[in-house]
Structure 1
């Protein structure tokens, strides 16, 4: 099972430097917002770069990037950081740190763009979910087309994770389903593209 984390703190930092930096960025931004109005405060979220599809922010495209490092409430941060901590490391080792870093950011950006394009009403959005679903998309590609890279328990974990994640996305209110689906699609396609370049 590749998703069991057994490394010491020092080895985790050494083996997965990009994942460690992403976790740190999420936590630091959450702390900063907590001391400046709170992470559930709409004005604070907009100030620090959450996506807000109101007309006056329509050309602030940098929000597609900054929103990936902001979270709305501690539970939101906890769930995304847990997913990143557990599921991202094997992909970082597989792709290499710099390609993984690009992969993560592009998946998140695509998820956020799709989210904005599909929005039917004004809403505020933030979180790493699009990028994390990009990681899940890469694993979906591996499960379907590179089965030998994963042991059976890891494959079962991916199937269960995707089913539960998609059900959760549709059932629970306030979830940005389009960011999840956009990130998943981006991760699947991007991983396939990277794999083809390596052949």
Structure 2
């Protein structure tokens, strides 16, 4: 389920939403490295900065999902999406997968805005990625046949490790991780009950 055996062109064809999201990640990261822009221009324009959201810049509830600070941040989130996203894009279809991903990320960013101080700023796809994890957990609870035993043995430890690491590393938006996970679980629960 989580092993990728497709060629690059097959992956693009089978999983166009994931491919597009990763392309946006890379493009924004590349633009931020261009000498024609100030070094933090992308971050300044698109980060989730609570004070700017309060002043009406509501796009900052969406755009942080696609912006990353540092190559390791970009690589980790994009790799997580490429590894764990395809079974869900295949199962849900393009539109529902995109809705799950964005809803989880935006919900995580809204709660971050409501809970964190006005001076708080953040970027990254982690809230949306944790939403995918939450969806998997809901499917494990409701539809045991959706995920094989072997895949459960992969996803459950990764979710547990992800949640534990959320509290052990500095600079992590704990709120986004936890509420992205909750959003994905609720969406999965509603979807699985139908």
TM-score for both structures, normalised by structure 2: 0.93
- Distance in 2, Cα, partners of 1:44 & 1:101: 23
Q: Tell me which residue corresponds to 2:82.
A: 85
The answer for unaligned runs of 5 or more in structure 2 is none
Corresponding position: 1:67 with 2:68: no
- Identify the range of structure 1 (151-160 vs 172-181) with the bigger mean alpha-carbon deviation: 151-160
Equivalent runs, 1:148-187 vs 2, <5 Å: 148-187=145-184
- Distance in 2, Cα, partners of 1:91 & 1:171: 28
* TM-fit CA distance, 1:44: 4.2
Q: Tell me which residue corresponds to 1:37.
A: 38
- Distance in 2, Cα, partners of 1:94 & 1:132: 16
1:11-33 per-residue CA deviation (whole Å, 9 max, x = no partner) reads: 11111110110110111011111
Equivalent runs, 1:45-60 vs 2, <5 Å: 45-47=43-45, 49-54=46-51, 56-58=52-54, 59-60=56-57
* TM-fit CA distance, 1:37: 3.1
Equivalent runs, 1:77-116 vs 2, <5 Å: 77-116=74-113
1:112-154 per-residue CA deviation (whole Å, 9 max, x = no partner) reads: 1111212146222011111111000000111122111111121
For these two proteins, the number of residue pairs brought into alignment is 191
The answer for unaligned runs of 5 or more in structure 1 is none
TM-score for both structures, normalised by structure 1: 0.91
Corresponding position: 1:13 with 2:12: yes
- Distance in 1, Cα, partners of 2:91 & 2:42: 37
